[in-house]
Copies of this chain bind each other. A is one copy, B any other.
Amino acid sequence: MPMILAANANAQGSHVGEWRHPDAWDKPAANIANAVRLAQIAEAGKMDLLFLADGNGVRNLDKPDLFAATSPSDRPGVFEPVTLLSALAMVTRHIGLVATTTTTYDEPFHVARRFASLDHISGGRAGWNLVTTSNPGDALNFSREEHVARPTRYERANEFAEVVKGLWDSWADDAFPQDKASGRFLHPDKVHALNHKGPHFQVAGPLNAPRPPQGHPVGFSAGQSETGKDLAARHSDCVFAIEGSLPAAQTLYADIKGRLAKYGRAPDDLKILSGVTIFVGETAQEAEDLAGALDDLVPVAVGVDYLSKMMGQDMKRYPLDEPMPDFDGRYAGPTGIGQAILNVALEQGLTVRQTSRRILPQMAGNMFKGDPIQVADVMEQWYRGQGCDGFMVAAPVVPTGLERFTRLVIPELQRRGLFRTEYEGRTLRENLGLKRPPDRFSR
């Protein structure tokens, strides 16, 4: 099984200062021409899939300088991911199309339908990244006074995933003969009304779509909490993970793979993709220079504001040039990126200022930087060392960072036999080496 390479397809790069860089897109907000170009770069590189993060709110309205610096899911001027990927399906032929949709403020019938539709439109290239909404403010956009509490969100997410999969199985693969001569449009005995009744959802079904080409569009999730890891082991085909060091990644890898047996699944049924921002140059110095130039585009105050957001604490209270505090174990930020950065800062004795610069390539609790050989070396080490099954690659600057990755690093990975030179299959599921789930009529 070759290494899996996913491309972050958000319109802005993973570095907070990115959008101001001369190489970055002009006018990245909701720009379809840019999105098409990015998709075509990733597909020319034979990458497995395009991934779009998402959220349903605009954060940091009180801090306008952070608007452009906020993570892709909180940005003010973005496409809705499923509509965007439906469009990109028409200008690509092989690459997978993976969109984030929340389970907290949407309906399983709608979500099942949209991803089934995307799977039909793309000929079997759709993936759904299941999330629970983490931003409390999003609740206010959905007629709620308070955000759904975390344990409830995860319960709801698990049930949501059950319902969505059940709806995708509404019809047998061969339920629609559409035979003009006999007048048999469909087989009425090959429909399965779900009749789900659970604590959070009651959904009758059937779905008004034929079974998706992939059976089930590929399921993704993230989250490194206990509940997040269990949800992935139970429901996902792929999981995004973020760790700042190989030993930590190896521990997480073993932990997640070890949870699969409990749900009657084999270790290979769930692929672990490690999130990383890749700074690559023709030379190591070129990569360093790019990183420095990007850091310099972010004023110190904005960097500290951003660090505050990622730590879940006001970092202005701490001296800029003293070592990062350990918060007496009361860290209150996200389980992935924030925790990974804090671990790195404490291990390496970074100051607040240094940590704020370290977190600026924001998608990366992890970051690989260097010339093509150096970057390929560390990717190989993580992959062969069971730190991951592949990578969720964020470019620091879009589109040049992705173009450079496909031009400089991918050929080196191919030379080492680590990455494909042609797409193996027709569907995303086939390219990822995942089994197609049989329909319930043939199980």
What residues make up the interface of A, taking CB atoms closer than 8 Å to B? 19-22, 24, 26-30, 32, 36, 55-58, 61, 64-65, 67-68, 74-80, 82-84, 86-87, 89-91, 105-107, 109-110, 113-114, 116-118, 120-121, 123, 137, 140-145, 171, 176, 178, 180, 183, 185-186, 188, 191, 193, 200-210, 297
Q: How far is the CB of A85 from the nearest CB of chain B, in Å?
A: 8
Would B30 and A64 count as touching, CB distance under 8 A? no
Would A77 and B209 count as touching, CB distance under 8 A? yes
Q: How far is the CB of A158 from the nearest CB of chain B, in Å?
A: 16
- 12 A-B pairs with CB atoms under 8 Å apart are A26-B180, A64-B188, A65-B183, A68-B186, A76-B210, A77-B171, A80-B113, A86-B86, A87-B121, A105-B109, A145-B202, A183-B297
Would A143 and B30 count as touching, CB distance under 8 A? no
Would A210 and B30 count as touching, CB distance under 8 A? yes
Q: How far is the CB of A253 from the nearest CB of chain B, in Å?
A: 34
Contact with A77, one of B26, B55, B106, B210 (Cβ below 8 angstroms)? B210
Would B178 and A109 count as touching, CB distance under 8 A? no
Would A121 and B83 count as touching, CB distance under 8 A? yes
Looking at chain A's contact residues, the main secondary structure is: loop
Complex interface: chain B residues within 8 A of A56 (CB): 109-110, 113, 208
- A140→B201 CA distance, assembly (Å): 10
Given the known inter-chain contacts A76-B171, A178-B26, A180-B20, please indicate yes or no for A121 contacting B209, CB distance below 8 A: no
Would A79 and B205 count as touching, CB distance under 8 A? no
Contact with A32, one of B61, B79, B121 (Cβ below 8 angstroms)? B121
Which residue of chain B has the shortest Cβ distance to A185 in the bound complex?
B68
Contact with A208, one of B57, B65, B110, B118 (Cβ below 8 angstroms)? B57
Would B203 and A140 count as touching, CB distance under 8 A? yes
Complex interface: chain B residues within 8 A of A21 (CB): 180
Q: How far is the CB of A133 from the nearest CB of chain B, in Å?
A: 12
- A110→B116 CA distance, assembly (Å): 18
Apart from A30-B210, A80-B113, A84-B117, what are 18 other A-B pairs with CB-CB below 8 Å?
A19-B178, A20-B183, A21-B180, A28-B178, A29-B178, A29-B210, A74-B208, A76-B176, A76-B206, A77-B176, A80-B209, A83-B114, A84-B121, A87-B90, A87-B121, A105-B107, A106-B110, A143-B201
Complex interface: chain B residues within 8 A of A210 (CB): 29-30, 76-77
Would A29 and B176 count as touching, CB distance under 8 A? yes
Complex interface: chain B residues within 8 A of A82 (CB): 83, 86, 114
Would A206 and B58 count as touching, CB distance under 8 A? yes
Q: How far is the CB of A62 from the nearest CB of chain B, in Å?
A: 9
Complex interface: chain B residues within 8 A of A106 (CB): 107, 110
Contact with A185, one of B19, B89, B90, B186 (Cβ below 8 angstroms)? B19
Would B180 and A22 count as touching, CB distance under 8 A? yes
List of 6 A-B pairs having minimum Cβ-Cβ separation, nearest first: A140-B204, A64-B188, A68-B185, A86-B86, A80-B117, A90-B90
